[in-house]
Structure 1
Amino acid sequence: MFSESKKGRNNETTRGQSNRIGKSTSIKGEVVSQADFRIDGKLDGSVETTGKIVIGQSGVITGKVICANADVEGRFQGELVVTNLLTLKSSAIIEGDVTVSKLSIEPGATFNATCTMKTGIKELKTSEGKKADKTA
């Protein structure tokens, strides 16, 4: 029905858009989007986006988040999967399981999580040619 060029333009338009959950808003459920999200309110459930998630200082997410990039100033509890860069500001509080490619933590942030880094792992070989422990 739609030509490829129309589909491409629609995706480019979506990427420039941003969604916001305000301070006085509380949501329970599942959110799926291709656009960026800023959460200053409370979200109980899951968010999945190909864009960026920003959890503002008053923002609280309990559940699962899957995104490309994330900046956290508020509170997160649950499972967090960031395919690129996770940045924790000094006011951030993270609890749960975190999977990232890159991680940046400012002094003062609370990071009580199991963290798995998915890229940048190299296998070291000992002088005898045997495999040693992995390192990041």
Structure 2
Amino acid sequence: MFEIKDSTPFETDEEDFDTVMASDISFTGTIRFAKPFMIKGKVNGNIEATSDLLIDTAAEVNADISAERVLVRGRVKGNISGKKVVYVSSTGSVFGDISSSQVVLEPGSRFTGKCSMTAGF
């Protein structure tokens, strides 16, 4: 689990997520959800959420993402818009623009794009 000052901790255990997309699943299209969602497989398209999204270590996401909070441990090609926070862990990589109230890039993470930190998104 990681914690960000003045934020609720982001649960990272699989049992904390209402839906987990397994590593052997590949999906093309738009995913919309309102409860915490974890991706372990491959997604191509768009992701629109009013909740938290975790992109796990082996996941590959080619999509524009809009969610409450986003944790990237895997690979994302696309723009990410996080209402509260976008957190890229040391194993994560983002190739696209990030916009959020708070952005965290751990040492070792990879990021190519523009970063916009907005107040009250």
So what's the TM-score if we normalise by structure 1? 0.73
> Hey, which of these two has a bigger chunk of helix by percent?
1
Q: Which structure ranks higher in relative contact order (CA pairs < 8 Å, sequence separation ≥ 6)?
A: 2
Q: Deviations over 1:45-102 (max 9, x none)?
A: 1111111000000111101110000111000011110010111110101001111110
> Stretches of 4+ moved more than 3 A in 1?
none
Task: Read off the aligned partner of 1:102 and give its amino acid letter.
Answer: Q
Supply the distance in 2 between the matched residues of 1:91 and 1:33 (Cα, whole angstroms): 25
State how 1:113-128 maps to structure 2 within 5 Å: 113-119=113-119
The alignment of Structure 1 onto Structure 2 pairs a total of residues equal to 105
Q: Which protein has the bigger strand share?
A: 1
| Superposed CA RMSD | 1.4
Q: Percent identity?
A: 24
Gaps of 5+ in 2: 1-15
Q: CA, structure 1 residues 17+37, in 2 after alignment: closer, same or farther (shift >3 Å)?
A: closer
- Which ranges in structure 1 are unaligned for 5 or more consecutive residues? 1-15, 121-136
Q: Distance in 2 between matches of 1:92 and 1:113?
A: 14
Q: 2:30 matched to which residue of 1?
A: 30
